[in-house]
Amino acid sequence: MTTDALPLRTLRLIIEYDGTDFAGWQRQTGQRTVQQCLEDAFAAMTGGPVGVRGAGRTDAGVHADGQVASVEVASRIPALGFVRGLNSNLPRDIAVLDVTDMPAGFNARWAARGKIYRYLIWNHPIRSPRHARDSWHVFAPLDVHAMRAAASLLCGEHDFRAFRAADCERRTTVRVLRRFDVRRDGGLITCEVEGTAFLKNMVRILVGTLVAVGHGKMTEATICELLAQGDRTRAGMTAPACGLTLAKVIY
């Protein structure tokens, strides 16, 4: 007697996680990662190894509200069944918000047309327990108007080689930023940037540079020089990972 083979399906996942206690997205030997937890949860449901591909490899300590991943599974479990089953097998700092069947060949990384990142700064002399895990505590007052003006200069197509990690391996450093918003609500400053793609640590270095502008250590002219000259040593520090969240992946 024979049985029909299980159908091979491509699923798209939307995932939220608190990255504080993870060594990043990508599976690493001996480390707790988001990819590893998701693959283990799938294995518990399907009984076999499954590879989960993320739209972006967030670093250690970085969070996500809308990370997207794709996976191929041989299963008849309905999409809602995967949502419920995965969440019952995942730790409390990860949740799968949605599972959708996609056409064969869909790849969360290569199909993406852009990403939105959000960075939070707690700008107050007193620390905030509420924002301790998702923001950078900057004690000294920041000039948000100056930061906003500097951020506007970074929009458009530029060579961002001054705003990447030393070990960034991307062949081209030209990227397009569609918008870069800076706003304050009390002690909380939100920097939100949308772009086609980003270099390693690019958002964190951009924010570190804007904070230097907010402290009066850099000017709008400095931003223009950094874009023209590409000297990483003149840009700002790499802002702490805890303040960064992958807010949305655009398709």
CA distance 79 to 86: 11
Please state, in angstroms and rounded to a whole number, the distance separating the CA atoms of residues 78 and 100: 9
Pair 155, 177: CB distance under 8 Å: yes
The SS3 call for residue 100 is strand
Do the beta carbons of residue 95 and residue 15 sit within 8 Å? yes
Do residues 95 and 87 make contact, with C-beta atoms less than 8 angstroms apart?
Answer: yes
Respond yes or no: is residue 59 known to be catalytic: yes
Which among 4, 21, 40, 59 is annotated as catalytic? 59
Which residue numbers are catalytic? 59
